[in-house]
Amino acid sequence: MDSFGGRALAAVLFDLDGTLVDSTAAVVRSWARWAQEEGVDPRALNGSHGRPAAEIAASVLPAGRVTAAVARIEAIELADTGGVAPLPGAVAALVALPDGRAAVATSCTRPLAAARIGAAGLAAPRVVVTVDDVTRGKPAPDPFLLAAERLGVDPTRCLVVEDAPAGLAGARAAGCATLAVTTTHGPDELEADVVVATLADVVLAATGAGVEVRLA
């Protein structure tokens, strides 16, 4: 696929929720419960997908309530993984890429990422970067820069697979190529080099030189 500016790709950095796993129902249930408990209008959470929980809480609550509120949403989400499942193409994409060629970079905390990966039955790559590992989460580039560093590759030779505008903004800021899936947002909302419906629409393959990507 020549839509990535002709760059030779060394690795793929996957977002988690909405990209590898379908956690939408659990996320909606959890945040609706949290909003009710916190007295927050659920409409204030619109457009928050892909952002760290602490950033979302800070945007709708007084500063003094944020720490406890973040702990509460974490507890709610950890307790609710009902219906979490792999998205089309996710299993094949991870199987196709060996350690050193793939990583996960997510706005989840480490416990929540582990819970959702486990609930979906996915075999996670060795490198999983969570919001616990960085000072700034998406849309900052930090998660992708750290994932590339831990893989030992140049971020400009990484392909980021994302479903949310915040994640794509972070990927562009990190200098990565971008592939968007339309699992949670329409194509008109996603600024990426290539936009597909799901990972089932592409084939990833590891080569001696890096990673090849082609349309299925």
CB 120 within 8 A of CB 21: yes
- Calpha distance 117→23 (Å, rounded): 10
- Calpha distance 105→154 (Å, rounded): 15
CB 56 within 8 A of CB 48: yes
Tokens of 140: 């900052």
Sort 109 into a burial class: Cβ within 10 Å, 0-12 / 13-18 / 19+. buried
Tokens of 36: 């009710």
The identity of residue 99, as a single letter, is D
Question: What's phi and psi for 85, nearest 5 deg?
Answer: -150, 160
Residues that are catalytic: 15, 17
Question: How does 87-106 read in b/e, with b if 16+ C-beta sit within 10 Å?
Answer: bebbbbbbebbeeebbbbbb
The identity of residue 193, as a single letter, is D
